[in-house]
Amino acid sequence: MAELKGIVAAILTPFDERDNVDLDYMKRHLRFVEAGGAQGFVPSGSNGEAASMRLEERKRIIELCGANKGSMFMVAGTGSTSLSETLELSRCAESAGADAIMVLPPFFFTYAPVKGIIDYYRRVFDAVSLPIFLYNIPQCTGIRISEEIIHGLREYPHLVGVKDSSGQIDSVLNYIENFPGLKIFVGNDHQVLSVLEAGGEGHITGMPNAFPELTTELYKAFVAGEDASEQQARLSKARDIIAGFPEFAVNKYVLSLRGFPLRYCRLPLLDMTDEEKTRFVGLMKENGLWSL
């Protein structure tokens, strides 16, 4: 089994002028991310606009990515409000050659009892034998992956970890402290070095889509036992700049400057305006973060 650690790219989904998924672009983009030094990638996740896609689109993406992993490991995003869709996507990921899946809790039903969330997850664990990561992103799902939920699933040996994108450093550190047998990944770009130093396994982020160097250089320095604070500062500065723009659109625009066709976001997300493009490039250059 692939070693699930390091920098993991949360892969974008490129939509063309007719709002169709550009599968050829995705294959080429995987090679770009791989060449940038990422150890793994997540298709059909938050950065992939999965919540805006049809079930068949997500399955096709998972299948394509499974056939084009290269040297990277694949953690497929399979979570959905619909349990039946989550099960179908999870089985698809298993047959497509995924190394693991990442499952967020069923969003929208924020008032669901904890037992209902646990039972939902238990159905997924019973359906596939792949390693499974729980995905904590309560600002989007309305449901926190609590200690009670994790304890309710500890009987399953293929519960391997948690990705925390809450933005709360205490949340990530609590997972590391209280569940030493699990692999804990952080989603927040500001917290990478702190989480690695505390014993976390790595970073799952959208940054490697267009700027793989900013994340992989930090990880390389850390693994080599070097002081990675400068790399963390650069990554944090880039995150601060990107926060002022539509993030997914930024990645797609920057990739168009790095030789890819310009691709688009799916509504309700918006693409960058010409003014935003000019201002973004200027800020990145002013801060020494532009490597093109």
Digit-coded pLDDT (tens) for 5-18: 999 999 999 999 99
Nearest CA-CA partner of 177 in 152, 150, 139? 150
Q: Are 162 and 181 in contact (CB under 8 A)?
A: no
Rounded CA separation 43/1 (Å): 19
Q: What is the pairing mode between strands 73-77 and 183-186?
A: unpaired
User: CB neighbours of 117 closer than 8 A, spacing ≥ 6?
Assistant: 105, 106, 143, 149
Q: Which helix (H) or strand (E) holds 217?
A: helix 212-223
Cα–Cα dist 55/53, whole Å: 6
Q: Where are the domains of the chain?
A: 6-226
Task: Report residue 238: phi and psi, to 5°.
Answer: -60, -40
Which percentage of the chain shows pLDDT scores above 70?
A: 99
Q: Name the active-site residue from 69, 163, 237, 252.
A: 163
Among candidate residues 238, 241, 218, the one with its CA nearest the CA of residue 229: 218
Return the pLDDT at 82. 96
Tokens of 29: 């983009």
- For the purposes of burial, counting CB atoms within 10 Å of the CB of 224, is it exposed (0-12), middle (13-18) or buried (19 or more)? exposed
pLDDT tens digit sequence for 29-59: 999 999 999 999 999 999 999 999 999 999 9
Tens of pLDDT, residue by residue over 201-214, are: 999 999 999 999 99
How high is the pLDDT of residue 136?
A: 98
pLDDT band for position 193 (50/70/90)?
Answer: very high
| Residues 124-161 pLDDT 10s | 999 999 999 999 999 999 999 999 999 999 999 999 99
Among 284, 206, 189, CA closest to 252 = 206
From the candidates 135, 175, 253, 264, which is the catalytic residue? 135
Structure-block tokens of residue 269: 């997300």
Is 163 an annotated catalytic residue? Answer: yes
The answer to whether 48 and 16 have CB atoms below 8 angstroms apart is no
**Beta carbons within 10 angstroms of residue 114's beta carbon:** 12
Mean of the per-residue pLDDT values for the chain?
97
- Per-residue model confidence (pLDDT) at position 291: 61
Closest CA to 10 of 67, 64, 75: 75
121 is catalytic: no
Is residue 238 a contact partner of residue 207, using CB atoms and an 8 Å limit?
A: yes
Give the DSSP H/E element, type plus range, for residue 161: strand 159-164
Query: Could you give the CA distance from residue 33 to residue 38 in angstroms, rounded to a whole number?
Result: 6
> Which CATH code fits 6-226?
3.20.20.70
The per-residue pLDDT for range 227-259, each reduced to its tens digit, is 999 999 999 999 999 999 999 999 999 999 999
- Quick one: what percent of the chain has pLDDT higher than 90? 97
- Count CB-CB contacts under 10 A for residue 23: 15
The pTM (predicted TM-score) of the whole model is 0.96
User: Which residues are CB-contacts of 38 (< 8 A; sequence separation ≥ 6)?
Assistant: 6, 7, 8, 9, 72, 208, 212, 215, 216
Specify which residues 270 forms β-bridges with: none
Amino acid at 59: K
